[in-house]
Amino acid sequence: MFDLTNRVALVTGAGSKNGMGMATAVGLAECHCNVVIADLDIEGAQRNAAVLESMGVESMAVKVDVTDRASIDAMVQSVIDRFGKIDILVNIAGMTQPIRTIDLTYEQFDKMLRVNLLSVFSVTQAVLPHMIEKQYGRIINMSSVSAKRGGGVFGGAHYSASKAGILGFAKNLAREVVTDHITVNNICPGLIGTDFRRSATGLSDEDERKLWEDVPLKRPGTAREVAAAIVFLASDEAAFITGEEIDVNGGAHID
């Protein structure tokens, strides 16, 4: 199961050494998928691409600013020039910012929507024609538990709004492209132990442990556990699932 041999995946936001993007790229590579690492940090992307190539798959690193459509179009074209197709798109690039609504500025709200939501639209729209041409595709977006229950330490109202917008966008798109054999799904992580989340929230070790107590499983999730859900949705075994989201939160939110 989960054999992705000869598939080509594009993963945005995968330049961090220990983040969910790299964990996803490794999980896909373990299923023999060729993986494109796209990130604003080209050095990190190149480092991670080298790791994947050492696993025996083809990989390439691409620098991209997901808030710039010209940069996105150039990224997609470079992947098509190299591989001739994009079978799997994983939209992970994003940001968070824990801040109260009363303290939010228009500029902060606008930036959050551009980075987290508009980027998903822009990258997806750039990739879609190539998936439609091949009559095959898997699109997986990174949303959040905050899209369902509100942000708290995970981000402010602008973060929750951007992640909730991803869910609505994906459900509509899933209906549009289902006859093209393209599925569109989302992942909603809860408390995940990544360097990115720790740096974004600035919590102490003690505050981190207090957060774990609110999770029924009494621990944070791992990037690997999030990646496993993504790999499943990217596989042929998930061909009958579209317009859905998978919660990876240790029971912190159940619906």
> Which tens digits make up the pLDDT trace of 5-25?
999 999 999 999 999 999 999
61-106 residue pLDDT tens: 999 999 999 999 999 999 999 999 999 999 999 999 989 999 999 9
Q: Quick check: is 253 in a domain?
A: no
Average pLDDT, rounded, for the chain: 93
CATH number, domain with residue 29: 3.40.50.720
Percent of the chain with pLDDT over 90: 83
Per-residue confidence (pLDDT) for residue 110, from 0 to 100: 98
What is the rounded average pLDDT of the residues 187-215?
72
Q: Quick check: is 255 in a domain?
A: no
**Total domains, the chain:** 1
Q: Quick check: is 207 in a domain?
A: yes
Beta strands 88-91; 8-12: pairing state: parallel
Per-residue confidence (pLDDT) for residue 193, from 0 to 100: 83
136 is catalytic: no
Is 52 a residue whose pLDDT tops 90? yes
Per-residue confidence (pLDDT) for residue 203, from 0 to 100: 62
Q: Quick check: is 137 in a domain?
A: yes
Per-residue confidence (pLDDT) for residue 153, from 0 to 100: 61
Concatenate the DSSP letters of all residues of the chain into one string.
Answer: ----TT-EEEEES--SSSSHHHHHHHHHHHTT-EEEEEES-HHHHHHHHHHHHTTTS-EEEEE--TT-HHHHHHHHHHHHHHHS---EEEE---------GGG--HHHHHHHHIIIIIHHHHHHHHHHHHHHHHT-EEEEEE--THHHH--GGG--HHHHHHHHHHHHHHHHHHHHHGGGTEEEEEEEE-SB--HHHHHHH---HHHHHHHHHTSTTSS-B-HHHHHHHHHHHHSGGGTT--S-EEEESTTSS--
CA atoms within 13 A of residue 200's CA, in its CB half-sphere: 21
Q: Quick check: is 217 in a domain?
A: yes
Q: Quick check: is 115 in a domain?
A: yes
Q: Quick check: is 3 in a domain?
A: no
Per-residue confidence (pLDDT) for residue 218, from 0 to 100: 85
Spot the catalytic one: 159, 169, 196, 232. Answer: 159
Is 202 a residue whose pLDDT tops 80? no
Per-residue confidence (pLDDT) for residue 196, from 0 to 100: 53
Is 197 a residue whose pLDDT tops 60? no
Which domain range does residue 126 map to? 8-248
Is 200 a residue whose pLDDT tops 60? no
Per-residue confidence (pLDDT) for residue 155, from 0 to 100: 86
Is 199 a residue whose pLDDT tops 80? no
CB 187 within 8 A of CB 143: yes
What is the rounded average pLDDT of the residues 28-41?
98
Per-residue confidence (pLDDT) for residue 130, from 0 to 100: 98
Per-residue confidence (pLDDT) for residue 217, from 0 to 100: 86
pLDDT band at 206 (very low <50, low <70, confident <90, very high): confident
Q: Quick check: is 42 in a domain?
A: yes
Per-residue confidence (pLDDT) for residue 81, from 0 to 100: 98
